[in-house]
Structure 1
Amino acid sequence: MSMSCSTPPGSSDVWPRPGFPEVLIPWGPGERLALRMPESWRLIDVTQPLLDDALASEEYEARLGRLLDDPASGWSETLATTPLGRVALVIDDPSRWTPVERALPVVLERLERAGVGDDSIDLVVAVGRHRPVDREAMVRRLGAELTDRLRWWSPPVDDPTAYDDLGTIDQDLPVRLFRPVVQADLRVLIGSTLPHLQAGFGGGWKLILPGCAHRSSLAAVHRRGIRPEDHPETLLGGDPDLNPMRQAITRAMTLLPGKTFSIGHVLGVPGQILRVEAGCPDEVQRRLAHEARRRFQAPFRPPAEVVVVGNSPWPGDPLQSFKALIHHRAACRPGGALVGLFWASPDELDRSLDRRSLRRLGRGGRPAAWLIRHGLGLADRLASIWKLRPAFMIHWARELVVDRAVFVYCPLLHQVVGPHLGPVRLFDNLEALWNAVEVHLDQAGSHFRSAVRGGVRVRVFPQGGLTYCRPSSIV
C-alpha cells in the first residue's frame, strides 16, 4: 500500500484500490495513529519519503571525521590559512533533530589540534524568530557537559545593540547579524537540509540569515518568495541557484568578513542520518538539496479531493506542522479538503506561536474565520506594499486557506484553542473530523464530485514533515 517518493504506486489494476484500507500514521515517539476513512473514498496513494541507505548510527562520528580530514572538503586548508582568534559554531535551533551533540565533539577535537581553545569559541543557536533557547533546552539538546563547557548564545532578535550592521543589499535588505558571528575569524555551520516554503530547502547560509539576524533583516529576507516577480517554481524544492531567497542570502553573505565552513545533513526520522556533507556552504547546499529532492519530493499525480498530511517527524511545533500542510497544498484540488494530523508536545506548543494569541484567535469563532478568509487577500497585498514585518506569515496563511478547507486533528491544540483557529477547524475526535469533511464535500456541489468518476480521491502523506509537492507536480 505504501510507496516511496520516487517509485510509482504499482500497476493500474491495483491502484486506486476499492474501499479504504487502514493506513498507519506516525504519532509521537514510537506510536501510530490508525487512519480509517469512509469506504466510498478512493485511496490514490500513500507517499512515503525514501529513507533507505541511512548511515549506521555508530558510523556517524567516523564518517564526519573522514570528511573533515579529506583535503577535498577544504577543512584543513581553512584552518591553515585562517587566523583563528575567534571561532563561531552556529547550530540550528532545538526544533530540528540535527545530531549537533555528536558533530560538535568531532569539530572541537580538530579545533583543539589547531590550537583553538574553548575560550576562543562561541556557540550560537540560530533561533531566528523562534522562541529563545535557555539552559534547560541546551542541556536537552547537547547534554550538561557540552552546555557548561562552551560559551553559548541565543541571539536576542529585537536588541539592535547585539548586532553589527554590514550594509544593505538589493536596496531593501539590511544585513544586521549577531556580533559574535560577524566578528569570528571562522564560522562553522552545523545544520540540516529540509524542504522550505520560500528558500527551497533549509540549512547552509540560512543558519546565519535569518537564523542569526536582527528582526529587521529577518523580515526583509522573508519577503523574498512572496513578491509578484517571484515565480512559484523557484520556491519549495526549487534549485538553490534560482531561488530568490537563497540567492539574496548568498549575496548578503559576501559582506561577511572571515571564512565560513558548512557541515550539513539530510535527515530522516530523529536519529536517522541519510547523508552528511562538509565543505563550502554553497557547494554543500547544492549537493544536499539534490539529495533531499530525490528522497522527499512527491511523485506527479492529479490533484485529489482530500489530502491527508501527518506532521511527523516534527516534534509537535504547530507552526512547522501547518507548514507541512502548505508543503502539500498542491496535491489538493481547489475547493477540496486539506487534513492535518498533528501530534503535538506540550513542550513545543509555544516554540513558534504565542499561546495567548492562539486562544484569542480561537475565541473569535466563525466571525473571525470569515474575516480572516476574506481579509487575508487584502492584508497580504497591503503587507507586501508596505513591507510589514509579518508579511510572509500573512501570505502563507492566505495560501493555506484561500481556496481549500482545512481540518486538523490535534487534541492538544483543540484543548488549548477550541474548535476553531480562524478558518481552520480543530478536532479532538477523528470520526467527527471525517464527518465534517464529508459535509464540506457535499456542500461543494455536484459538479465537484461528478468531475471524478468513482468518488472522492484521497492522497496520504504520513510523514509530511519530510515530503512535499511542488506546483509542477500537478498534471
Structure 2
Amino acid sequence: MQKKYTYKYGKGKVNFTIDASLITDELYIKEYPVLPNPAEAVREAIHNPIGAKPLREIVKPGETVVFIVNDTTRVANSHIFMPILLDELNCAGIPDQDMWIVFALGTHRQMTEEEMIGEVGSSVAQRVKMYNSDCRDEGQFRYFGTTSYGTPVYFNNKVVAADHIICTGSVVHHFFAGFGGGRKAMLPGVAHYETVRKNHSLMLDANAVIGKLDGNPIYHDQVEGTEMCRPSFMINVVLNEKKEFLRVFAGDYIEAHLECCKFVNDVYGVPVEREADLVIASCGGYPKDINVYQLQKTMDNAWCAVREGGVVIILGECAEGSGSVTYEKTMQKYTTPEQVEAAVRADFQIGAHKAYAVTRLMKKAHFILVSSMPPELARLLLFTPARDMEEAMEIAVNKLGSPQPRIILMPMGSITVPLVHK
C-alpha cells in the first residue's frame, strides 16, 4: 500500500509516496514532554545550577559580563532565555551597559544586524551591544597559551575583556566532538582560525566520534583551551524537533554540560535492529539544511543506519550552497574520498576538513541529494543530484538493483542518532 510522507525542506516541505511495506523503521527522537513554561524553567535552572553558585551570587556590582550566543546555524531559542539572564544580572547590580553579546561564529560567515536581532530578540538587541567574532581578523584575539595537543589558544578580545563569561547554546550530538554545547561556545565559537584549525585536525583520530566525550581528543583539547580563560557560568538547552524546550541545564560549563549530554543521548539516540538498504533522511528544514556544511550532520546520522553498499537520499535545500569556498576548492582538486583524505592529512584546513567529513561517508554508501543547488555543484561534491524525490527513488532503486529495498526513514535526520543493535 502506498503511503504519503511530508518532510521538512528549507522553509517549506516535500511530499513523497512510498510502498509502506518496504519501511522497516521511521526514526524519531524519544517522546518527551515539553516544558510548559520555558521561561520559568530557565529561572529555576539559573537559581539552582549544577556545580556552581547561582548566577546572582557569582557576579558583583561594577563587574562586566559577556554572553556567548549561538549564530543562525544552531537553534537555541536564545530570544527566550537572554531577556531573563539580563534581568537576573540587573537584579545582581549589573546594568545593561556593563553587559554585551558576542556571537559564536567559529569559522562561519559574519551575521547581519537583522540576523543578530533575530537570534536574541529586539528587546535584548536594544538593551546591549552585539558583536560578531571574526576568526580571521588576528587583531580581534588574545593569545593564552598552547594545549598539550599543540593547539595555540586565542580568544576574542570582546570576550576576554569581561569579568565574567557566560556560555549559552543548545546541545545535540556532534559528529566528531561527541556533543555540541558547553565548551564549544568558547572553542571553536569565539576562537581564532588557527585555534579552530588545529583543534579540528584532531578529527582524524579514531576516538573523535559522535556521542563520545571521554577519550575524545577534540573534546579534551577544547576543555583544556577553555580552562585558560574559564567561563563563570553556562546555560544550555535541549530542544525537540519542533524547537520546543525539553530541558534547561545551567551551572559549571563542564559539570552541567555532562549532565546535559546524558539527557541528549537518552532523547536523541534511537535503537535500530538492522541497517537498511536505503535510508531517506530530511535534515529537518532550515537552518539545518542551509548548506552542505550543516547538512553533513544529517549525513553522519543516516550513515549509521545504512548498510555497506547501500544508498542514502538526503532532503536538504542548501540555499547557501556548500557553505565553504575552501570546501569547494578542495573538491575541485580531488575527485575521490581517498584523495581528499590524503590531502587533509597532509595539510589540515577548515573547509577542507568538511570535504573529508562528507566524502569519508561515501566510502560506505551512495549519497543522493535532493536540493536547490545546481546539479554540477552537487556532482563536484560527489553527490548524485536529483530534482525531486521521484527521481531520487528511481536512481536509488537502479543503484541497489532491487525494486523492494528495506527502507529506514529519518524525518529528523540532523538530531536523530541511530544506535544499530550489533
Establish whether TM, by shorter chain, passes 0.5. Answer: yes
Counterpart secondary structure, 1:328: helix
1:89 counterpart (61, 67, 75)? 67
Partner of 1:175 in structure 2? 153
Trace 1:14-413 onto structure 2 (pairs within 5 A): 21-28=3-10, 32-37=13-18, 42-56=22-36, 59-70=37-48, 74-76=52-54, 79-80=57-58, 85-227=63-205, 230-231=206-207, 235-238=209-212, 240-256=213-229, 259-315=231-287, 316-318=289-291, 319-344=293-318, 346=319, 349=320, 352-354=323-325, 372-373=335-336, 376-390=337-351, 392-410=353-371, 412-413=372-373
Q: 1:26 offset after TM fit, Å?
A: 3.0
Q: Distance in 2 between matches of 1:357 and 1:263?
A: 32
Q: 1:342 offset after TM fit, Å?
A: 1.5
CA deviation profile, 1:148-175 (whole Å, cap 9, x unmatched): 3211110111111110110111252111
CA deviation profile, 1:34-89 (whole Å, cap 9, x unmatched): 332368x7211111112421112xx1111211222237663437734768522110
Q: Distance in 1 between matches of 2:201 and 2:414?
A: 23
Q: 1:381 offset after TM fit, Å?
A: 2.7
Partner of 1:460 in structure 2? 409
| Unaligned ranges ≥5, structure 2 | none
Aligned amino acid, residue 95 of structure 1 = T
Q: Percent identity?
A: 20
Aligned amino acid, residue 372 of structure 1 = T
Q: Distance in 1 between matches of 2:49 and 2:315?
A: 46
CA deviation profile, 1:269-326 (whole Å, cap 9, x unmatched): 3440111111111112111111111111121332211111111054231221232112
Counterpart secondary structure, 2:299: helix
Q: Distance in 2 between matches of 1:51 and 1:462?
A: 14
Q: Distance in 2 between matches of 1:178 and 1:270?
A: 33
| Unaligned ranges ≥5, structure 1 | 1-18, 443-448
Q: 1:398 offset after TM fit, Å?
A: 2.2
Q: Distance in 2 between matches of 1:38 and 1:270?
A: 27
Q: Distance in 1 between matches of 2:106 and 2:157?
A: 14
Superposition CA RMSD, Å: 2.7
Aligned amino acid, residue 328 of structure 1 = A
Partner of 1:431 in structure 2? 390
Q: Residue 171 and residue 435 in structure 1: after superposition, are their counterparts in 2 closer, same or farther (change >3 A)?
A: closer
Q: Distance in 2 between matches of 1:225 and 1:393?
A: 11
Aligned amino acid, residue 146 of structure 1 = V
CA deviation profile, 1:181-207 (whole Å, cap 9, x unmatched): 123221111100011111111011101
Aligned amino acid, residue 381 of structure 1 = A
Counterpart secondary structure, 1:218: helix
Q: Residue 314 and residue 235 in structure 1: after superposition, are their counterparts in 2 closer, same or farther (change >3 A)?
A: farther
> Is the Cα–Cα contact under 8 Å of residues 312 and 463 in structure 1 kept in the other structure?
yes
Q: Residue 271 and residue 461 in structure 1: after superposition, are their counterparts in 2 closer, same or farther (change >3 A)?
A: closer
> Is the Cα–Cα contact under 8 Å of residues 224 and 244 in structure 1 kept in the other structure?
yes
> Is the Cα–Cα contact under 8 Å of residues 58 and 232 in structure 2 kept in the other structure?
no
- Higher alpha-carbon Rg: 1
Aligned amino acid, residue 324 of structure 1 = T
> Is the Cα–Cα contact under 8 Å of residues 274 and 421 in structure 2 kept in the other structure?
yes
Counterpart secondary structure, 1:352: coil
TM normalised by structure 1 equals 0.81
> Is the Cα–Cα contact under 8 Å of residues 93 and 127 in structure 1 kept in the other structure?
yes
Aligned amino acid, residue 46 of structure 1 = E
Q: Residue 249 and residue 61 in structure 1: after superposition, are their counterparts in 2 closer, same or farther (change >3 A)?
A: same
Q: Distance in 1 between matches of 2:377 and 2:63?
A: 53
TM normalised by structure 2 equals 0.90
CA deviation profile, 1:118-148 (whole Å, cap 9, x unmatched): 2221201001111111211112223333223
Aligned amino acid, residue 413 of structure 1 = M
Compare 69-78 and 329-338 and name the one that shifted more. Answer: 69-78
Q: Distance in 1 between matches of 2:102 and 2:399?
A: 47
Q: Distance in 1 between matches of 2:385 and 2:164?
A: 47
Q: Distance in 1 between matches of 2:177 and 2:350?
A: 17
> Is the Cα–Cα contact under 8 Å of residues 191 and 264 in structure 1 kept in the other structure?
yes
Partner of 1:6 in structure 2? none
Q: Distance in 2 between matches of 1:261 and 1:322?
A: 30
Q: Distance in 2 between matches of 1:427 and 1:71?
A: 48
Q: Distance in 1 between matches of 2:15 and 2:239?
A: 25
